[in-house]
Amino acid sequence: MPATIREVPNPSVRIDHGKCIADKGCRSCIDSCPLDILAFDEGDGKVKMAYDECWYCLPCEHDCPTKAVTVSIPYLLR
């Protein structure tokens, strides 16, 4: 994984960085995503949607301990 992550434009999966505790080592959403599209940016310490490959399935949201993840239906389907 590259150290800095380019987030997809208009990501349909959003992380509330105020709530996210990735700085404490949490990677739950990244670990549970079956498509492996979320990534931790070592540059700015933020979790981002790195690939526009979302099945809108929700393990990321359900496994987040702080409810920081919000999944929307991808734009093309909305």
Q: What is the DSSP letter of 9?
A: S
Q: Are 42 and 4 in contact (CB under 8 A)?
A: yes
66 is an interface residue for other proteins by CB under 8 A: no
Return the one option of ligand SF4, other proteins, none that residue 1 interacts with (CB less than 5 to 8 A, by type). Answer: other proteins
Vertex 13: Cα angle to 54 and 28 (nearest 5)? 90
CA distance 63 to 61: 6
21 is an interface residue for ligand SF4 by CB under 6 A: yes
Task: Count residues near other proteins (CB under 8 A).
Answer: 27
Give the binding site for ligand SF4 (CB under 6 A).
Answer: 13, 15, 20-22, 26-29, 33, 35, 37-38, 47, 54-60, 64-66, 68-69, 71
